Amino acid sequence: MDLSYILNELAEERDDYFRAIAPPIVQSSNFAFKTVDDLRKSFEDEYSTWLYSRGLNPTVEILRKKLAALDEAEDCLVFNSGAAAIFAAVLANVKSGDHIVSVRNPYTWAQKMFDVILPRFNVTVTYVDGKEADNFTRALQSNTTVIYLETPNSWFFELQDLSAIAAIAKEKNIVTICDNSYCTPLYQKPITLGIDLVLQSATKYISGHSDTVAGVLSGSRKMMERIFNSEYLNIGSGIQPFNAWLLIRGLRTLPARLEKITKTSSEVVQFLKNHPRVEAVYYPMDPSFPQYALARKQMTGGCGLVTFILKAESCAAIETFCNSLRHILMAVSWGGYESLIIPKCAGMKPGAFDKNDPAHRSLRMYIGLEEAAYLISDLTTGFEAIASLS
Ligand SMILES: Cc1ncc(COP(=O)(O)O)c(C=O)c1O
């Protein structure tokens, strides 16, 4: 399906709403039936009818169709957060006694689910270094039902070879789930590489304006219907119509934003690579990246997340760098219009900082829609502030 068609036209039945260009926000909790028979049919098959907005809603429906098409999936569900999409995807595919193999260091709340919630229900998890597909094979047990992936992975962006891991899983009938938040379906399509379920935090690039929290889960129609009738309706974690409308609006400009963000990112990456205060830069689409060949094989763009290692003697020097930035904001998340930065040491306990560990001196930067020169000038202010310490 053509990208422009998906973003501008798919699922938009304008004759149903006054030929309005922007679709309406159907802000209704419930829907009325003309006959008892129609109501009965809806009770029997809520996945095909408007009954109650904890389930389906017409504004959300437009969004679902577009997002499923972008993922090249049969179907998708949209949640009120990426974390809810992760929770539903995993929960739907495990029962007591099952085992999961996960890439190490998955997104914080995926890891919390694995480490804190699932053990209460006798579901165990083995973490593996995802850079080698064979590590997944080695970790499999007879009770493994799920392989959980996130590629590129948080902070240092380690990649997993999606088609190799999908092949391993298919042989054993294991469900594969991939967090695709880094790339969005524009720059990576895990389902086309054999992955069963793909999810993303739509809070990031799909929203694109740092004003909505949402999550997407795509897969086969059969799997989505099963999740809808169980986890989705039961946890009540579906997206609200207004937030769905904001995401439809975000989708209109997604390709333009990603193109600009990716271009600016490579300029900022070049600047950082050449700066004497920077020890290393991690960006999957840069030739210096250790898994560059795999990045080129399964991704089509780099997006805006970059991690760099600062040459700094202390945590205080890193703090000076960050505190002196005037435009790049210090905040979690990414994918919006504004550039952001987080130093690893912000999440460390006092006294834990070791200047000899490069990871402790790492900063993750998200590059937004500002001009490269504007960001480079702000980073230069930060570098000058550390230089003035010595
Ligand atoms: C890689 C990744 N996956 C999932 C999530 C969860 O998304 P949300 O914050 O929309 O719940 C995040 C949030 O930061 C993330 O970074």
Q: What is the pLDDT of residue 390?
A: 72
DSSP state of 275: -
Q: Using CA atoms, how far apart are residues 51 and 43, in angstroms rounded to an integer?
A: 8
As for how many domains the chain has, the answer is: 2
**Within this chain, do residues 199 and 279 fall inside the same structural domain, yes or no?**
no
Looking at the structure, tell me whether residues 102 and 196 fall in a common domain: yes
**Residue 350 corresponds to which tokens in the numbers above?**
């006092």
Provide the 10 A C-beta neighbour count for residue 173. 8
- Calculate how far, in angstroms, residue 317's C-alpha sits from the geometric centre of ligand 1: 29
Domain identity same for 235 and 373: no
Say yes or no: 268 and 245 in one domain: no
Average pLDDT of the chain is 97
Give Cα separations from 375 to 289, 382, 383 (angstroms): 22, 11, 12
CB atoms within 10 A of CB 373: 11
160 touches ligand 1 (CB under 6 Å): no
Residues 261 and 243 in one domain: no
Residue 388 banded pLDDT, cuts 50, 70, 90: confident
Q: Is the CB of 203 under 6 A from ligand 1?
A: yes
pLDDT average, residue stretch 338-353: 95
Check whether 252 has a pLDDT greater than 90: yes
Residues 20 and 83 in one domain: yes
Domain boundary among 204, 222, 250: 250
165 and 203 both lie in a single domain: yes
Residues 204 and 71 both lie in one domain: yes
Atom of ligand 1 nearest to the CA of 85: 11
Whole-number Å distance between alpha carbons of 385 and 325: 9
Q: Whose CA is nearest to atom 6 of ligand 1?
A: 82
Prediction pTM value: 0.97
d(CA 149, CA 163): 12
Q: Which of 204, 222, 325, 345 is nearest to 261 (CA)?
A: 204
Res. 389: pLDDT tops 90:
no
pLDDT digits (tens, 9 = 90+) for 184-238: 999 999 999 999 999 999 999 999 999 999 999 999 999 999 999 999 999 999 9
103 DSSP β-pair partners: 128
Task: Specify whether 133 is located in the same domain as 274.
Answer: no
CA distance 245 to 25: 6
Q: CB under 8 Å to 194, separation ≥6 — which residues?
A: 162, 163, 166, 167, 170, 176
215 lines ligand 1 (CB under 6 A): yes
Q: Is the CB of 181 under 6 A from ligand 1?
A: yes
Sign of the C-alpha dihedral computed for residues 79, 222, 195 and 170 taken in this order: positive
Cα(201) to ligand 1 centroid in Å equals 5
156 pLDDT band (50/70/90 cuts)?
A: very high
Share of the chain above pLDDT 90, in %: 98
What is the predicted pLDDT for the residue at 123? 98
Residues 364, 234, single domain; the answer is: no
Q: What is the CATH number of the domain that holds 173?
A: 3.40.640.10
Domain shared by 98 and 122, yes or no: yes
Which pLDDT does position 154 carry in this prediction? Answer: 85
Question: Which residue puts its alpha carbon closest to atom 16 of ligand 1?
Answer: 107
330: CATH: 3.90.1150.10
- Terminal Cα distance for the chain, rounded: 57
Q: Single out the residue in 204, 234, 250 at which a domain terminates.
A: 250
Domain hosting residue 302, numbered range? 254-387
Q: Which residues contact 107 (CB under 8 A, 6 or more apart)?
A: 82, 83, 86, 150, 154, 179, 181
**For residue 242, what pLDDT is reported?**
98
The Cα–Cα gap between 333 and 330 comes to 10
Distance, C-alpha 52 to centroid of its chain: 28
- What's the residue count for the chain? 390
Asked whether the predicted pLDDT for residue 350 surpasses 90, the reply is no
Among 250, 270, 300, the domain-final residue is 250
What tokens were used for 229? 């009738």
pLDDT (tens digit per residue) in 32-74: 999 999 999 999 999 999 999 999 999 999 999 999 999 999 9
Which is nearest to 149 in space by CA: 86, 213, 95?
86
Q: Measure the CA–CA gap between 214 and 78, rounded to whole angstroms.
A: 7
Same domain, 275 and 235: no
**Gap between the Cα atoms of 339 and 333, Å rounded:** 10
What's the mean pLDDT in 152-177?
97
